């Protein structure tokens, strides 16, 4: 009977390992793939054609086109509302266990006319009540032009891993910078 | 006597049969479990190999999936990619999604490099902007903030609300960190209100190698700040004048530096 228990324990642990490996594999596949907008449009057409004649007795196909459009609308809304456009994002799983995931992220984007690039590691931990994420090894690159205060600001942000404050400050700074630039243009 | 004897034999035979059946069932179960384990081990080993192959940089071309992906696979890739980008907005403090009747915002909070709680705010936009549902705690002055900004400037409304929430979470995080890392130096239990803008605790210090107990009262008058506006340090015992100096120094430090970061310095005053 204890042998039974040992087998059952192993089955449980194997199932968990398989799930983690599958996630890791699929995430990696996702990252190393790329399809152009053209390929996406072609696929939408082809997907709709595939299912047009086929609904006899089969369950309706998942409305991928609608889901895609809904996500694009949400993304476009947020970029406009928050004022930050993310232009690229790549991530890599460094470590993944049941309660702990470490991912390395590289993000680039713009805010008004300022562009930025962030690289950091994000540690996600599942503890008894909730999930919390901690940022480490943050590095930010920004073309700030002549302003040396920006450099100091970025260093302190990097030290604390304070991405939230970075984004909050970025939108007000970028807006101010844009107004200033327009004002100077006006006076030329 | 004979009936009783027969009954007993019957009973024995029955029990023996039951035992045999149980043993057979057990064996079947074991062999079923064993083959399941082997099946899963194989699956796991195959996955491990696949993952290892992915990690070898040279073979990236070979490992990036089928040469002619189906339309469905392409769309699923794009959907996953969009979802991933939407998630990035959590890092900025404001994310959300459009709903049939308006927008559902998600405010994320962080203290320095650690992201903590999320709060939801489901807004209706027609005929006027109003709050439908939310998960903002009751001690945050939501009504006050929405009265002032919601109708005229949603962005400002969210920014102010976000400042309140972040400051609250920051204060709570500092108090929790203090309790977690310095429980030995804290005497009794720390008292705080739900808004975490009033903290009371007693702590032990060594002054000129003599142990003393000090009482701290931290009031965070600015709800958008995670530093206290008023710090009162007092002593519960008869104390030398040097203690008054120490108390003043502590009070000053705690107004400038986050509680859990300032604490080590408080303890090591000469």
Q: Kindly list the domain boundaries of chain B, sorted by start residue.
A: 76-168, 174-267
* pLDDT (0 to 100) of residue B61: 47
Q: Do residues A97 and A20 lie in contact, with contact meaning Cβ atoms separated by under 8 Å?
A: yes
Q: Do residues B75 and A65 lie in contact, with contact meaning Cβ atoms separated by under 8 Å?
A: yes
Whether residue A91 and residue B84 make contact (CB cut-off 8 A), yes or no, is: yes
**Over the stretch B191-245, which tens digit does the pLDDT of each residue have?**
999 999 999 999 988 877 788 889 999 999 999 999 999 999 988 777 677 788 8
Which residue in the set B41, B47, B159 is minimally distant from A25, CB to CB? B47
Q: Do residues B254 and B218 lie in contact, with contact meaning Cβ atoms separated by under 8 Å?
A: yes
* pLDDT (0 to 100) of residue B63: 45
* pLDDT (0 to 100) of residue B130: 93
* pLDDT (0 to 100) of residue B65: 53
Whether the CB of B42 is below 8 Å from some CB of chain A: the reply is no
Whether residue A160 and residue B82 make contact (CB cut-off 8 A), yes or no, is: no
**Over the stretch B48-99, which tens digit does the pLDDT of each residue have?**
999 888 877 655 444 455 567 888 888 899 999 999 999 999 999 999 999 9
- Please check the confidence at residue B27 and state whether its pLDDT lies above 80: yes
Whether residue B75 and residue A68 make contact (CB cut-off 8 A), yes or no, is: yes
* pLDDT (0 to 100) of residue A26: 87
Q: Is the peptide bond before B203 cis (omega within 30 degrees of 0)?
A: no
Burial (CB count within 10 angstroms: exposed 0-12, middle 13-18, buried 19+), residue B133: exposed
> Mutation test of the interface with chain B: which of A81, A140, A156, choosing the one with the most B Cβ atoms within 10 A?
A81
**B217 Cβ contact list (under 8 Å, min separation 6):** B198, B199, B200, B230, B231, B232, B233, B234
Query: What secondary structure letter does DSSP report for B59?
Result: G
* pLDDT (0 to 100) of residue A54: 58
With left for phi above 0 and alpha for psi between -120 and 50, is residue A112 left, alpha or beta? left
In chain B, residues 87-116 whose CB comes closer than 8 Å to chain A: 88-89, 91-98, 103, 108-110, 112-116
- Please check the confidence at residue B257 and state whether its pLDDT lies above 50: yes
* pLDDT (0 to 100) of residue A77: 96
Residue of chain A whose alpha carbon sits nearest to that of B95: A78
* pLDDT (0 to 100) of residue B72: 85
Whether the CB of B210 is below 8 Å from some CB of chain A: the reply is no
> What does the alpha-carbon distance between residue A108 and residue A139 come to, in Å, rounded to a whole number?
12
Low-confidence ranges of chain A (pLDDT < 50): none
* pLDDT (0 to 100) of residue B10: 93
- Please check the confidence at residue B25 and state whether its pLDDT lies above 50: yes
- Please check the confidence at residue B270 and state whether its pLDDT lies above 70: no
* pLDDT (0 to 100) of residue B62: 46
Whether residue B36 and residue A11 make contact (CB cut-off 8 A), yes or no, is: yes
Inter-chain contacts counted by CB atoms under 8 A, chains A and B = 160
Distance from CA of A19 to the nearest CA of B (A): 9
Distance from CA of A30 to the nearest CA of B (A): 7
Report yes or no on whether pTM surpasses 0.90. no
In chain B, residues 114-143 whose CB comes closer than 8 Å to chain A: 114-117
Q: How many CB atoms lie under 10 A from the CB of residue A123?
A: 17
Which residue in the set B37, B74, B80 is minimally distant from A43, CB to CB? B74
Whether residue A167 and residue B63 make contact (CB cut-off 8 A), yes or no, is: no
What the block records as the tokens of B140 is: 């945050």
* pLDDT (0 to 100) of residue A53: 57
**Over the stretch B120-155, which tens digit does the pLDDT of each residue have?**
999 999 889 999 999 999 999 999 999 999 999 999
Q: What is the DSSP string of chain A?
A: -HHHHHHHHHHHHHHHHHHHHHHHHHHHHHHT----HHHHHHHHHHHHHHHHS--SSSPPPP-HHHHHHHHHHHHHHHHHHH-EEEEEEEEEEEEE-SSEEEEEEEEEEEETTEEEEEEEEEEEEE-SS-EEEEEEEEEEEE--TT-HHHHHHHHHHHHHT-HHHHHHHHHHHHHHHHHHHHHHHHH-
Q: Which residues does chain A have within 8 Å of residue B110's beta carbon, measured at their own beta carbons?
A: 162-164
Provide ipTM, 2 decimals.
0.85
Backbone angles phi, psi at B144, to 5 degrees: -60, -45
The domain made up of B76-168 has a fold known as: Copper Amine Oxidase; Chain A, domain 1 (3.30.457)
E strand or H helix that includes residue B200: strand B198-207
* pLDDT (0 to 100) of residue B250: 92
* pLDDT (0 to 100) of residue B71: 85
């Amino acid at each position: 009977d204890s042998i039974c228990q040992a087998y059952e324990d192993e089955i449980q642990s194997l199932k968990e390992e398989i799930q983690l490996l599958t996630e890791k594999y699929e995430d990696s596949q996702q990252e190393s793939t790329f399809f152009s907008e053209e390929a996406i449009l072609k696929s939408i057409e082809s997907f709709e054609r595939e299912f047009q004649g086929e609904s006899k007795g089969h369950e309706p196909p998942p409305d991928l086109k609608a889901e895609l459009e809904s996500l694009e609308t949400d993304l476009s809304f947020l970029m406009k509302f928050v004022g930050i456009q993310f232009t690229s994002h790549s991530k890599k799983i460094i470590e993944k266990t049941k309660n702990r995931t470490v991912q390395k992220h590289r993000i680039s984007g713009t805010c008004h006319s300022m562009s930025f690039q962030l690289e950091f590691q994000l540690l996600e931990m599942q503890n008894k009540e909730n999930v919390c994420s901690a940022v480490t090894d943050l590095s930010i690159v920004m073309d700030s032009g002549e302003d040396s205060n920006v450099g100091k600001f970025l260093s302190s942000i990097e030290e604390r891993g304070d991405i939230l404050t970075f984004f909050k400050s970025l939108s007000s700074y970028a807006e101010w910078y844009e107004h200033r630039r327009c004002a100077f243009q006006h006076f030329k | 006597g004979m009936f009783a004897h027969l009954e007993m034999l019957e009973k024995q035979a029955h029990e023996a049969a039951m035992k045999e059946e149980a043993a057979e069932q057990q064996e079947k179960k074991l062999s079923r479990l064993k083959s399941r384990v082997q099946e899963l081990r194989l699956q796991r080993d195959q996955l491990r190999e696949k993952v290892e192959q992915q990690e070898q940089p040279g073979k990236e071309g070979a490992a990036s999936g089928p040469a002619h992906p189906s339309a469905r696979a392409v769309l699923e890739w794009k959907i996953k990619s969009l979802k991933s980008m939407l998630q990035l907005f959590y890092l900025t403090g404001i994310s959300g999604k459009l709903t049939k009747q308006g927008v559902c915002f998600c405010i994320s909070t962080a203290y320095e490099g650690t992201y903590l709680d999320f709060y939801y705010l489901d807004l209706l936009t027609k005929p006027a902007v109003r709050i439908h549902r939310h998960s903002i705690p009751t001690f945050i002055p939501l009504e006050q903030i929405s009265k002032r900004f919601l109708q005229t400037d949603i962005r400002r409304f969210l920014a102010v609300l976000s400042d309140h929430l972040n400051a609250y979470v920051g204060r709570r995080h500092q108090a929790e960190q203090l309790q977690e890392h310095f429980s030995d130096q804290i005497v009794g239990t720390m008292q705080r209100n739900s808004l975490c803008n009033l903290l009371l605790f007693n702590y032990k210090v060594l002054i000129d190698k003599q142990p003393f107990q000090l009482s701290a009262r931290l009031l965070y008058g600015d709800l958008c700040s995670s530093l206290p506006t008023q710090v009162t340090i007092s002593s519960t015992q008869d104390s030398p004048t040097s203690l008054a100096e120490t108390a003043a120094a502590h009070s000053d430090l705690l107004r400038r530096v986050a509680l859990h970061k300032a604490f080590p310095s408080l303890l090591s005053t000469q």
